[in-house]
Amino acid sequence: MRVGVLTGGGDCPGLNAVIRSVVRKGVQEYAFDFVGLRDGWLGALRNDVVPLDIADVRGILPLGGTILGSSRTNPFKHENGVRRIQETLAARGIDALVVIGGEDTLGVAAELSRQGIHLVGVPKTIDNDVPGTDYTFGFDTAVGIATEAIDRLHTTAESHRRTLVVEVMGRHSGWIALHAGVAGGANVILIPERPFDIDQVCAWVKSRFKFNYAPIVVAAEGAVPQEGQMILKDRSLDEYGHVRLSGVGEWLAQEISRRTGTDARTTVLGYIQRGGTPSAFDRWLATRFGLHAVDAVRDGDFGTMTALRGTDIIRVPLPDAGTRTRVVDQSLYAEFGVFFG
Ligand code: F6P
């Protein structure tokens, strides 16, 4: 059996660990033959395929990013997209796909599976917002990077008695902000799931200064003020209709400075959260996802995705495009209220 592997959507540490475990087990235990499709669904549209065997995956476990490249290409936004993918699979003799991606890439996979393409999904994203799995790989590494940054920002905030606002990624979910904010001892954590009151934020900031501590405000890029709209730098959309988020951190610093008369600065962590080597947990989870994904291919269990349920890897149906992403539960957020202010 010839199996194609592709990585789609925003990259993250751990992608290469999945590719490695899929190829190692598929070749060694099932005598599969592998090829890589370049740059996510774009490679499938363009018949852009590279060989992928054990020699190609040696040494890539700790390597960040993806050796196959990625893109935010949506085949359903391209003329004859499905037919072009079917032609690529036929021309290359590809019998099945392992699709590694977030909710956008996997939503396309769900529809292609319904149209008869044999494939299995693996949930990936630093956002940790793919429905059906307790965690996605990429998330733990991003939280570790953000937490280390917050630790560092405490000391410079204290030195200058400033508020430091840290904007983290996560798109429309607050998982990174909540986990890194709690781990980093933030005094304010703002997430998209809970529109914030800027007056309450300023009251928390003032109360920290009263105790001679400098406040750290962690804001998810998708956090929104109760009054008014999401703060955006630009309104361009990608092929899945996503707007480019960022801007809330700078807006918060300006508002805090203006309203409290104290100094505030912003650090936007941005793509640092997606770079570099995966954490040990992400290597572990990504490796397991890959092993179970190639088992599902062997079993012909197509249209499914590997998922973490507690400490077990199970198979669940691929989430349809438009399925509500996993968001932070209000009760979980409320657990940490004792630390705000
Ligand atoms: O989905 C992962 C992610 O990093 C989000 O947290 C962020 O909003 C988005 O990708 C950025 O998209 P792009 O890489 O296309 O700029």
Q: Are 133 and 305 in contact (CB under 8 A)?
A: yes
Q: Would you state the pLDDT for residue 193?
A: 97
In this predicted structure, what is the pLDDT of residue 212? 83
Mean pLDDT (the chain, rounded): 96
SS3 99: strand
Which residue among 137, 171, 237 is best mutated to probe the pocket of ligand 1, counting the most ligand atoms within 8 A of its Cβ? 171
For residue 63, report the distance from its CA to the centre of ligand 1, in Å: 20
Q: How far is CA 327 from CA 268, 269, 323, 324, in A?
A: 22, 21, 12, 9
Asked if 35 contacts 2 with a C-beta cutoff of 8 angstroms, the reply is yes
Which residue is it, tokens 């290409």? 73
Res 94: pLDDT: 98
> Is 274 in contact with 142 (CB distance < 8 Å)?
yes
Alpha helices in the chain (DSSP H): 15-30, 41-46, 54-57, 81-92, 103-114, 139-160, 175-183, 198-210, 248-260, 280-299, 330-334
The β-bridge partners of 313 are: 308
Contact call for residues 137 and 11 (beta carbons, < 8 A)? no
Which residues pair with residue 113 across a beta bridge? none
What pLDDT is attached to residue 8? 98
Task: Please indicate whether the domains covering 2-138+278-317 and 140-275 agree at the CATH topology level.
Answer: yes
Report how far residue 177's alpha carbon sits from residue 132's, in angstroms, rounded to the nearest whole number: 21
Output the CA 261–ligand 1 centroid distance in Å.
34
Write the DSSP string, 278-296.
PPHHHHHHHHHHHHHHHHH
Q: Is the pTM of this model over 0.95?
A: yes
At 24-57, the pLDDT tens digits run: 999 999 999 999 999 999 999 999 999 999 999 9
Q: To test ligand 1's pocket by mutation, which of 74, 100, 127 has the most ligand atoms within 8 angstroms of CB?
A: 127
Q: What is the atom index within ligand 1 of the atom nearest the CA of 102?
A: 1
Give the Cα separation of 313 and 318 in Å (integer): 14
pLDDT digits (tens, 9 = 90+) for 181-202: 999 999 999 999 999 999 999 9
pLDDT at 233 over 90: no
Query: Is residue 244 very low, low, confident or very high in pLDDT (cuts 50, 70, 90)?
Result: confident
**Residue pLDDT, tens place only, 111-127:** 999 999 999 999 999 99
Q: Is the pLDDT of residue 283 over 80?
A: yes
The angle subtended at Cα 201 by Cα 200 and Cα 207, nearest 5°, is 90
Per the document, the length of the chain is: 341
Give catalytic residue positions: 127
d(CA 82, CA 99): 15
- By most ligand atoms within 8 Å of CB, the mutation choice from 70, 105, 136, 169 for ligand 1 is 169
Which of these, 273, 285, 275, lies nearest to 66 by C-alpha position? 275
Neighbours of 227 (CB within 10 A): 10
Residue 317, pLDDT above cutoff 80: yes
Q: Which CA distances in Å does 166 have to 127, 139, 221?
A: 16, 17, 10
CATH number corresponding to 140-275:
3.40.50.460
Partners of residue 163 on adjacent β-strands: 264
Nearest to 97 by CA among 34, 169, 174: 34
C-alpha 36 to ligand 1 mean position (Å): 23
The ligand 1 atom nearest the CA atom of 222 = 8
Question: Could you tell me the distance, in angstroms and rounded to a whole number, from the CA of residue 11 to the centre of ligand 1?
Answer: 8
Position in ligand 1 atom list of the atom nearest CA 9: 1
Closest ligand 1 atom to Cα of 271: 4
Phi, psi of 308, rounded to the nearest 5 degrees: -95, 125
- Please, what's the largest Cα pairwise distance for the chain? 69
Cα distances from 155 to residues 152, 162, 203, 250, in angstroms, run: 6, 10, 22, 20
State which CATH number among 3.10.20.30, 3.40.50.450, 1.10.357.10, 3.40.50.300 fits the domain covering 2-138+278-317.
3.40.50.450
Domain borders along the chain are 2-138+278-317, 140-275
Q: Which residues lie below 8 Å from residue 182, measured CB to CB, with a gap of 6+? A: 189, 336, 339
**Residues in the ligand 1 pocket, defined by CB under 6 Å:** 10, 72, 102, 125-127, 169-171, 221, 238, 245, 274
More confident residue, 228 or 209: 209
